[in-house]
Amino acid sequence: MKARSATAAAIATGGVSLAAFLGTAEVVAVATGPASQPEVALGRVVIARTPEWLKNFAISNFGENDKLVLNISVYAALIVLAGLAGALAGRTRTWAALGALTALGTVTAVAAATGPSASAWQSLPSVAGAIAGAAVFVSASARGGRAGRAGVGADSGPGGSPTLPRRQFLKKAGSLFALSAGAYAVGRGALARAYNAAASRAAVRLPRAVRSTPRVAGTGFEVEGLSPYITPNKDFYRVDTALVVPQLSTDGYILALHGMVERPAIFTFDDLLHMPLVEAPITMVCVSDPVGGPYVGNARWLGVPLAHLLGLVGPRPGADQLFMTSADGMTIGADLRAAMDGRPALLAVGMNGEPLPFEHGFPVRAVIPGFYGYASACKWLVDLEVTTYEAKKAYWVQRGYAQKGAVRLESRIDTPAPFAQLRAGPVTVAGSAWHPTVGIRKVQVSADGGPWHEAALADVESVDTWRLWRWEWEATPGSHSLQVRAVGNDGQVQTAAGAPVFPAGATGRQSLVVSVT
Amino acid sequence: MKLLYPRAATASALLVAGVSMLSVGASAQMMPTTSAPPVTHTTDFGPACSAVPKAGAGSFSGMTKAPVATAASHNPVLSTLVAAVEKAGLADTLNTAKGLTVFAPDNAAFAALPKAALQSLLANKAALTKLLEYHVVAGRLSPAMVVGVHKTIEGETISVAGSGASFNVNGTAQVVCGNVQTGNATVYIVNSVLNPAA
């Protein structure tokens, strides 16, 4: 009984120390930024160390709540460890608790200071937290020990030290805890106000482009169900591995450009905005887009030409890869030559006239026409390294995807929908076709395996975008299949040979079954 | 013990509750603000589910969930159905439709058909398309919604009965593995081919 109550008090002491650790760290983090919060640093380490299958499991089972589950797990683990450390330490082995606090402080300090775009200062909250935790433990455990003995009614402990009622221990532990929780709440509130990335995004004023691809009329068709030429930001597809959409602020944003270059450099967000910006429409495609699939979109991107930026640092001969890293650790390797060959390969800061949405990489992402996103379009970009394909393998390349990832010539039927029930008579068949950097010369449609009919083509602003098309079909009753193919400006005819998404992007011609009555 | 233990326990419980509340508050604050609804927690059920691969070939490198025809092609118990779907030219249509429920006959279901009937079916594209469309319902039906009469893509209705982990279609075909989630369709694997004339 005696051991039991002493243990309970020791566990509580461990918990109060943890609260002091977190509360103090939170207050200090107001000065050093949200990424320096020890629990956030710890969460990032957990995400980085989580195997792929477990991540997939979490995403498919917890969906949008995966982050919540992660946070609760981190806090639960901390609480259990604090209790264990407290119990182990008891009142005689204070070194055990101090050791545990030092270990926690060290791990979180290192994690915070070595994260992407981190500095040594970011270890400060963890260090301060560990010191406060230790102080609280030492202060509370002396009384806690006495409280334990007092709990069984002894009037004095071994050595005759004076006793204090357990109530006093609870009071002390309780007030220390309340103080810590209060500090935590105040710190968190201040952090939320000081580091609101939404405010940072709202404050961005995008400069005018020095060069803009001229707008043209007639890029779309008034056909129900057909995509517009420019995809609105809210409808733009999103495929990434980010468990949490990174919320980077433009304050303190630093982009490093280094590796095989003559003059390595770092750029702030303002540096980028003061460079000559170009606006260009570019169709982006995800390698995971199946034939006829939804992972394609077209937007007007405003950004610094990568050629300009690379020209400032001077790539060395022999380099062939531009290796990009996002704030959440994603790596994407792009073809260095393509980034400098005159196509509008951009470090984008704007999308369809507004700063990048958070989901699409605020504050800076890359967009390079002609390559699937996994091999060109790094979001939340914080690091650019000029290197070789030989030296470094990007995330999806490590997982077997093709090294360069050039987008394939493809076409898609937007309307009618698959399995549509149609009335006999004239039916508009319409969709899009793309081969970024090459452009589309012709789109053809066939009904029930019959002859190919020329579709009418909309205008385009550049060869880097998709091209919308329409064809009028005289539908007769029965079940029918429609098929589409495109011909590129280079004369290439879209292949009928089907290839799966993995490893280099899907090929084949979309066919669609509809029924007409 | 009666007196002492509960107090310390109360202190610990308060501590845990307090820190947990902070953590939940903190998480809610850091949650991304996207409009997508949370993924439901339902999983597949049924005696034959162990034969259904949880991850398709290439899914180790998957960025997005495979659509239904692609997912089926990774499933060895559905190889006859996949061949029939390709023969009918329905693969892209199934893959690109916005949301479907597919009652997928397994290989044993096709094997149970008279050989001659199966051969003539596979040779007649129009009849094959009609039959396969009879296995597809527009919209995704969860186990809670699947019981009842549903109009198929083909036009005729099917009737699903049962509860828990035991369902049948048209009174004859048993669901051997239900509620399999693919990118664009919910799949119920059945042990007999459904016949619109029945």
Residues 6+ apart with CB under 8 A from A47: A55, A70, A243
* CB spacing of A511 vs B88 below 8 angstroms: no
- Which of the listed CATH numbers 2.30.180.10, 3.40.50.720, 3.30.300.30, 1.10.357.10 matches domain B49-190? 2.30.180.10
* CB spacing of A71 vs B15 below 8 angstroms: no
Residues 6+ apart with CB under 8 A from A185: B22
Phi, psi for A439 (deg, rounded to 5): 95, 165
Report how far apart, in Å, the C-alpha atoms of A118 and of each of A4, A99, A129, A324, A449 are. 44, 26, 19, 17, 59
- Cβ neighbours of B3 (radius 10 Å): 10
Q: What is the pLDDT of residue A158?
A: 42
Name the DSSP class of B149.
E
The yes-or-no verdict on residue B3 having pLDDT over 50 is no
Number of Cβ pairs closer than 8 Å across A and B? 188
- Which of the listed CATH numbers 3.90.420.10, 1.10.390.10, 3.40.50.920, 3.40.470.10 matches domain A211-398? 3.90.420.10
Where are any strands of DSSP class E within A91-146? none
Taking alpha carbons only, the member of A512, A509, A513 closest to residue A499 is A509
The yes-or-no verdict on residue B58 having pLDDT over 60 is no
Q: Taking the C-alpha atoms of A465, A470, A471 and A473 in order, what is their torsion angle to the nearest 10 degrees? A: 140
Exposure string for A321-357, b = 16+ CB within 10 A, e = fewer: bbbbbbbbbbbbbbbbebbbeebbbbbbbbbbeebbb
Q: What is the pLDDT of residue A117?
A: 54
Distance CA A120, CA A45 (A): 17
A 286-325 near B (Cβ less than 8 A): 286-288, 290-293, 295
Q: What is the pLDDT of residue A166?
A: 77
- The distance of A29 to chain B (nearest Cα, Å) reads 14
Chain region(s) in chain A for CATH 3.90.420.10: 211-398
Crossing angle for the helix pair A66-89 and A124-150, to the nearest 10 degrees:
50
**Beta pairing partners, A483:** A446, A511
Q: What is the pLDDT of residue A138?
A: 84
Lowest model confidence (mean pLDDT) among A477-486, B35-44, B110-119: B35-44
**With contacts defined as CB-CB under 8 Å, which chain B residues touch A400?**
60-61
Name the DSSP class of A406.
B
Q: How far is CA B141 from the centre of its chain?
A: 9
Distance CA A356, CA A376 (A): 16
What is Dmax (Cα atoms) for chain A?
104
Q: Is CATH 3.20.19.10 the right assignment for the domain spanning A410-516?
A: no
Q: What is the pLDDT of residue A120?
A: 82
B97 pLDDT band, cuts 50/70/90, is: very high
Selecting from B5, B64, B97 the residue whose C-beta is nearest the C-beta of A295 gives: B64
Name the DSSP class of A292.
T
Q: Which two tokens stand for residue A297?
A: 């979109």
Q: What is the pLDDT of residue B36?
A: 33
Taking alpha carbons only, the member of A448, A455, A466, A449 closest to residue A430 is A455
Determine which of A22, A40, A64 to mutate to test the interface with B (most B C-beta atoms within 10 Å): A64
Q: What is the pLDDT of residue A227?
A: 97
DSSP H or E run through A352: none
Q: What is the pLDDT of residue B51?
A: 67
Chain region(s) in chain A for CATH 2.60.40.650: 410-516
Q: How far apart are the first and last CA of chain B?
A: 72
Q: Taking the C-alpha atoms of A347, A350, A351 and A357 in order, what is their torsion angle to the nearest 10 degrees? A: 100
> Residue A198's closest chain B neighbor by CA?
B33
Determine which of B2, B21, B24, B30 to mutate to test the interface with A (most A C-beta atoms within 10 Å): B30
DSSP H or E run through A454: strand A453-454
Q: What is the pLDDT of residue A252?
A: 80
B74 pLDDT band, cuts 50/70/90, is: confident
**Beta pairing partners, A325:** A331, A383
Q: What is the pLDDT of residue B20?
A: 40
Q: What are the residue ranges in chain A where pLDDT is below 50?
A: 1, 64, 143-163
Residues 6+ apart with CB under 8 A from A450: none
Distance CA A242, CA A316 (A): 33
Name the DSSP class of A235.
G
The yes-or-no verdict on residue B40 having pLDDT over 70 is no
Distance CA B83, CA B92 (A): 13
Name the DSSP class of B74.
T
Residues 6+ apart with CB under 8 A from B2: none
